[in-house]
Amino acid sequence: MELWKKLMLNGSVKLFMSNKILDKYIADISYEGFEIYTFDCSKWDSKNYHHDLAAVLGFPCYYGENLDAFNDCLSDMVEEETDFVLVFKNYELFAKQNLEVAFKLLDIIQINSWRFLIEDVKLLSFIQSNDATMSFPNLGAMSASAEWNGEEWLDKDRGL
């Protein structure tokens, strides 16, 4: 079984503490044809992390530098039809500054990862942390209620 399948069994975001182990996984997943995008989060703060995301991922100049824009531009990457891994090093330093944003960023990645599979594109994220207690539970959890299908989406299509 390919490494990407093993990694995605319980979600596409994987935590790493050891840089040596992280480097091994990066090499192994690269061998499977994945493109690697690496971020050094020790340099991130609440004002500059979007600039780094946009620069490394090649987002368009109209990137809005907010989480909704990150979601939109990340989801557009499916059109490139290239499997890829987002590697975040020293993520605990960013998470200590803004845990809510750190969680939401990974949540967006997890949700898009499942969406990408429909288009036969694989997205993984490797999170390196020097904090052995770091955790991000419930990534990609859907709290929305059940939706109506496309043919009965409008109330009038259901006789209302």
| Residue pLDDT, tens place only, 58-96 | 999 999 999 999 999 999 998 878 999 999 999 999 999
Mean pLDDT, rounded, for 126-138:
88
CA neighbours within 13 Å on the CB side: how many for 6?
7
DSSP 8-state code for residue 37 = E
In this structure, the number of other CB atoms found within 10 A of the CB of residue 147 comes to 8
Ranges of H-type helices in 119-152: none
Higher pLDDT, 155 or 34: 34
Residue 58's domain comprises 3-158
DSSP 8-state code for residue 12 = S
Residues 152, 39 contacting (CB under 8 angstroms): no
pLDDT higher than 60, residue 6 = yes
Mean pLDDT, rounded, for 93-117:
94
Token readout for 109 is: 């990645």
pTM for the predicted model, two decimal places: 0.88
Mean pLDDT, rounded, for 118-131:
93
Give the closest residue to 105 by CA, choosing from 69, 60, 56: 69
CA distance 95 to 24: 24
Ranges of H-type helices in the chain: 3-8, 19-31, 49-57, 67-76, 91-97, 99-118
- For 14-34, write each residue's pLDDT tens digit: 999 899 999 999 999 999 999
Q: What is the reported pLDDT for 88?
A: 97
Q: What is the reported pLDDT for 11?
A: 84
Q: Which of 6-20, 37-51, 58-72, 134-148 has the lowest mean pLDDT?
A: 134-148
Amino acid found at 42: S
For the chain, the domain total comes to: 1
CATH number of the domain encompassing residue 99: 3.30.370.10
